[in-house]
Structure 1
């Protein structure tokens, strides 16, 4: 329905090798995917609506699919190369977000049970502490690994495939 000039967009987009400092890029990925996105999911989990905190996961997966579809409509080989290069970090990143969302489920359930005046055996602070511990133990290390893969491995895979 919308036909942007994909050729000019792809040609004007800087490649990963043109970035002056990959460590700066790595830190940007870690700050965005490791702090901003999980914090926004935590804020959404505090709203007593079930599964609203999954919005970021759906948005990440959907936007990736839209970008892949747009590049595939421009060039099959370029699109397939981009998809293959993006698979390692995408899987780990989405896995980390899913682990975080599954941890937030119990916090959100606690809030909903409290509003409905159901019997609760734990406190809010216990549930929040459990979420933070899961974040530190599982989510943040996976996000750091995904950021390293996105910064360093994706570029190498794209260079091998081209």
Structure 2
């Protein structure tokens, strides 16, 4: 009976994370689409940017590019999101996720405005790693939701008596486990997709 109860509770927790992840992912995609449309219609005629479209992915190559990607997107950004989740303000940790959605939207909009034919291959080639990266951050945000909730409950206890209890260490271990098992591998996958698979997709249009 105890095993059944534990499994039931675990399934409920996983369902909550899945629901939050889907909500965050939907929000992220909507922001990207809206940003793309806005930048597409508001972008002036930038001829210089059009000449530099082919240089976007030439700064680094091979495993060195993968390493830089993983260090930045797999360590720096998650740490920033974690520290923001420790501030007792709801959803402040979504700032990085929102920026991750806005920046590609702006770039996609500008490129589509300059040349639809030339930018479409870049857009299609960037979809696999962009969506994988966004999914990783959405899962991380779903995990950080509980961390932020615990922090807010602790602050609330300082000003008001409450019978609610929080288990920060247990939730923190869940966060670390989820990061190592799901989030970081997705970021590594996104790094390889951007470095190798994106070039392959782009070459199919030539």
TM-score (norm 1): 0.90
Gaps of 5+ in 2: 1-41
Q: 1:3-152 residue pairs with structure 2 within 5 A?
A: 3=44, 5=46, 7-12=47-52, 14=55, 16=57, 18=58, 21-117=61-157, 118-152=162-196
Distance in 2 (alpha carbons) for counterparts of 1:126 and 1:160 = 48
Contact 2:86-2:151 within 8 A present in 1 as well: yes
After TM superposition, which residue ranges in structure 1, 4 or more long, deviate above 6 angstroms? none
Distance in 1 (alpha carbons) for counterparts of 2:106 and 2:184 = 26
Contact 1:85-1:158 within 8 A present in 2 as well: yes
Larger Rg: 2
Comparing 74-83 and 64-73, the one that deviates more: 74-83
Is the partner of 1:116 in helix, strand or coil? helix
CA shift for structure 1 position 114: 1.2
TM-score (norm 2): 0.72
Contact 1:110-1:120 within 8 A present in 2 as well: no
Count of residues in Structure 1 that have an aligned counterpart in Structure 2: 160
